[in-house]
Structure 1
Amino acid sequence: MFRQLLSIKNYKLFLVNMALLGMGLAVTVPFFILYATQELGMTKGQYGLLMASAALAGFLMNTLIGRISDTGRVNRKWLIIFSLLMASMAFGVYFYVHSVLWFIVLYTIFTGFAAPAMPQMYASARESINASASSKNSVFANTVLRSMFSLGFLFGPLVGTVLLSRFGYDGLFGGTIVLYLIVLMSMIIFFRDIVTVQPARTQNYVEPVAPNLLKDSQLLIPFLGFVMLHVGQWMYTLNMPLFVTEHLHESENNVGYLASLCAGLEVPFMIILGILASKFQTRTLLMLGAVLGGGYFLSIGVFNSVAAMLVGQLALAFFLAILLGLGISYFQDILPDFPGYASTLFSNAMIAGQLIGNLLGGVMSDIVGLGNVFYVSAAFIAIAFVLLSFTKPVTREDML
């Protein structure tokens, strides 16, 4: 099955680029807060403002670009290239801006323009898949792409550590820029245009319009469900290090063990899920993922043990593999005629969930305490499960 995917136009290029994008992002992410607070002089509140404003800018730009990208009037290749250039400039702010205020403003602007790169790359990949003889394997193809991003993200922190130790922050930010520029140049040199069949524009032709998220319950309900899933996940991500070190009084090394084990398991699980997706409805697998994720979050409060959390990484990794690996295919299957808009909905659900999860994670840990905050995470996963149960299952016949 995997060998068939390699014959899809641009697919090998996307595989390499997804790994490079994951690595490029992960090179800087673990150390970004250290630079911002220790070197640039931001307060934690200003750093929170930076992250929130960048997320909001990305949400707005994704929404705008997602609607126009499927009209055929804009070449998706050049949208991706422009977004990659903006991403390079976002990390390049480090080299020429040393004012906290201007750093926040410029980083937010460039990050907003950079946000469409990933969803548009997924949309372009879906167009290639649909135009190939392997269109029936679209879910598996998307899952493999997402696993390559996770693979790059797994090794990125190690590369970042080496760059930081040898070249300081110049090497760290410079390394990320180089990786983004490599992806950009590869798109210019190796990307082959995809020929899509446009309907004949007769006098009575009506151009299809992407449905309105707020007015279409078949979109709004799964979108809200995905937001709830990401809220639960990001509440966990925010509070897990504090829970381990301050509540359980365990070594900081355990935080690294938990994160590395989960990341390492995600990649093979995504490949397995891509194969299973051809035999089960995507919605069914998403609901299974919600059960596993919610069950893991509940178990943290019940067992209060790092050992139990290490075992629970099996459930967490499977949950994340389903959420991140199959989520984009779910939206693309709902909107097969609008791959750009569908990919944008998935990306925006992730951004909204991350923003809300980070904000609520800090508030709820203060209100209910670190020992109980993961019950709140589980509650959001339960809400998502209920919402997904009300969504319409997408069958293969609906897509043909």
Structure 2
Amino acid sequence: MNSIRLTFMVVAFFSGIAGALQIPTLSLFLTTEVQVSSLWVGFFYAVNAGTGIAVSFLLAKKSDRQRDRRNLILICYLLAAGNCLLFAFNRNYLTLITVGVLLTAIANTAIPQLFALAREYGEKTSHNVAMFSAIMRAQLSLAWVFGPPLAFMLVMKYGFTAMFMFAAGIFLLVTLLAWWVLPCVVRTEEGNVAVDPPLRQKGAFDKDVGLLFCTSVLMWTCSAMYLIDVPLYITAELGLSQSLTGWIMGVAAAVEIPIMILAGRYVNLVGKRPMMAGAIVAGMLFYAGMPWFSTAGGLLALQAFNAIFIGIIATVGMLYFQDLMPERAGMATTLFTNSISTGVILAGILQGVLTEYGPHSSVYLLAVLLLLIALPVVCKVREV
């Protein structure tokens, strides 16, 4: 493996670490530090995701028209560091949901742009793009093995300020690595969507892309509802330790890694559509089991199904979008990440309403229902 491919892996890993410090603790941060109710927590997630969709689409459109996307990645990582510092020293809900959300939206564009750059680099160097993407995505899961337990350890021992400052330092390190080593992959004029109208007709407005987007939204809504709810479910309803949340997420991420690598290896043999359908079935088993397991051991064992679900949709889902839109890597990857953001919007609203007026188990039962809807939809997407 050459130094550039290794740097892609390292940047993806540390980006994942920084994200894994913040995402699992955000709902706890808003309820304990900012002191808002479940409804306002859900509203924050919805606004955050909605802003992210709008900003990332604008930046993706711009990135696909430029000949190189590396500078945009550097700017996003710098703003990510600034956003961490804002959350470290501010506890005003209005400031966080305006300035903080805007900075988060720009910062979150770094990951899809990084994967788009990696795909372009893989194609230029005749590297196995599916395997390269899967190994890179596995770095994010590897980061989630260590990130959530580390996040809850930092919060419990040193507080949220120290945790966010640590995340800011990681983003600054990532910025330096990306600036120093990541390549400038200059695209030819023929790949520019601004001068290729037929490609536009086959890409963003394609029926199969729309079906895949709807499927992805439903799947990520389930995952986001789980991520928002599980720290509160474990502590408030089950009465278990806060640190268990970190261990649960870490175990799931550890199991995801071999699943992602295997998915990247065999996706062309098995097919993307069958793999996505299998992931949905695993997700249904996971969410159906959540209300029935109230011990640490049971919840940890259940993560095997969660790992299959996330490991496949995170790897194969992104490849599916990219293969349906082969000449628009930036837009394809952004559509994938925006399906996650759209899922977070729905999840924030649904989880907030359900837990405000009902038990936490209703969140997981709804997730099963959403996946039952997603299964026949994904079966209609053409295989590529």
User: Cα gap change, 1:194/1:244 in structure 2, threshold over 3 Å: closer, same or farther?
Assistant: closer
Paired amino acid for 1:385:
L
The Cα offsets for residues 2-54 of structure 1, whole Å up to 9 and x where unpaired, read as xxxx24x8321110001101111222334444444444454554443333222
2:163 corresponding residue in structure 1: 172
For the residues of structure 1 that align with 2:168 and 2:350, how far apart are their CA atoms? 32
**TM-score, normalized by length of structure 1?**
0.84
Structure 1 residue corresponding to 2:23, chosen from 22, 26, 29: 29
User: Cα gap change, 1:260/1:179 in structure 2, threshold over 3 Å: closer, same or farther?
Assistant: closer
Paired amino acid for 2:346:
I
2:326 corresponding residue in structure 1: 336
The Cα offsets for residues 149-206 of structure 1, whole Å up to 9 and x where unpaired, read as 11112212344355446654443222111111111111211122224343399xxx75
Contact 1:289 1:319 in 2 (8 A): yes
1:397 corresponding residue in structure 2: none
List alignment gaps of at least 5 residues for structure 1: 1-5, 395-400
1:104 corresponding residue in structure 2: 97
Q: How does 1:276-291 map to 2 (within 5 A)?
A: 276-291=266-281
For the residues of structure 1 that align with 2:125 and 2:178, how far apart are their CA atoms? 20
1:384 corresponding residue in structure 2: 374
Structure 1 residue corresponding to 2:176, chosen from 175, 179, 185: 185
Whether 1:76 and 2:69 are equivalent positions in the alignment is yes
Paired amino acid for 1:231:
T
1:139 corresponding residue in structure 2: 130
Paired amino acid for 1:142:
S
Q: How does 1:152-301 map to 2 (within 5 A)?
A: 152-161=143-152, 163-164=154-155, 168-199=159-190, 206=196, 210-211=200-201, 215-240=205-230, 255=245, 258-300=248-290
SS at match of 1:392: coil
The Cα offsets for residues 286-322 of structure 1, whole Å up to 9 and x where unpaired, read as 1111111113323445x55646554432222111100
Deviation at 1:93, TM superposition (A): 1.4
Paired amino acid for 1:173:
F
2:111 corresponding residue in structure 1: 118
User: Cα gap change, 1:254/1:328 in structure 2, threshold over 3 Å: closer, same or farther?
Assistant: same
For the residues of structure 2 that align with 1:212 and 1:350, how far apart are their CA atoms? 22
List alignment gaps of at least 5 residues for structure 2: none
Structure 2 residue corresponding to 1:53, chosen from 34, 37, 47: 47
Structure 1 residue corresponding to 2:142, chosen from 151, 160, 164: 151
SS at match of 1:336: coil
Deviation at 1:264, TM superposition (A): 2.1
User: Cα gap change, 1:96/1:210 in structure 2, threshold over 3 Å: closer, same or farther?
Assistant: farther
The Cα offsets for residues 256-291 of structure 1, whole Å up to 9 and x where unpaired, read as 554333222112221222222232111211111111
RMSD: 3.0
**TM-score, normalized by length of structure 2?**
0.87
Contact 2:68 2:186 in 1 (8 A): no
For the residues of structure 1 that align with 2:345 and 2:144, how far apart are their CA atoms? 20
Larger radius of gyration: 1
For the residues of structure 1 that align with 2:240 and 2:169, how far apart are their CA atoms? 38
User: Cα gap change, 1:186/1:294 in structure 2, threshold over 3 Å: closer, same or farther?
Assistant: same
User: Cα gap change, 1:295/1:97 in structure 2, threshold over 3 Å: closer, same or farther?
Assistant: closer
The Cα offsets for residues 328-357 of structure 1, whole Å up to 9 and x where unpaired, read as 111111111000000000000011112212
**Residues paired across the two proteins, number:** 381
1:18 corresponding residue in structure 2: 12
Structure 2 residue corresponding to 1:348, chosen from 317, 338, 342: 338
2:78 corresponding residue in structure 1: 85
Counting helix residues as a fraction of each chain, which structure ranks higher? 2
Deviation at 1:77, TM superposition (A): 0.4
User: Cα gap change, 1:58/1:371 in structure 2, threshold over 3 Å: closer, same or farther?
Assistant: closer
For the residues of structure 2 that align with 1:250 and 1:379, how far apart are their CA atoms? 27
Contact 1:234 1:361 in 2 (8 A): no
User: Cα gap change, 1:278/1:154 in structure 2, threshold over 3 Å: closer, same or farther?
Assistant: same
Contact 1:267 1:321 in 2 (8 A): yes
User: Cα gap change, 1:184/1:260 in structure 2, threshold over 3 Å: closer, same or farther?
Assistant: closer
Contact 1:247 1:371 in 2 (8 A): no
Contact 2:277 2:375 in 1 (8 A): yes
Which of structures 1 and 2 has the larger relative contact order (alpha carbons within 8 angstroms, sep 6+)? Answer: 2
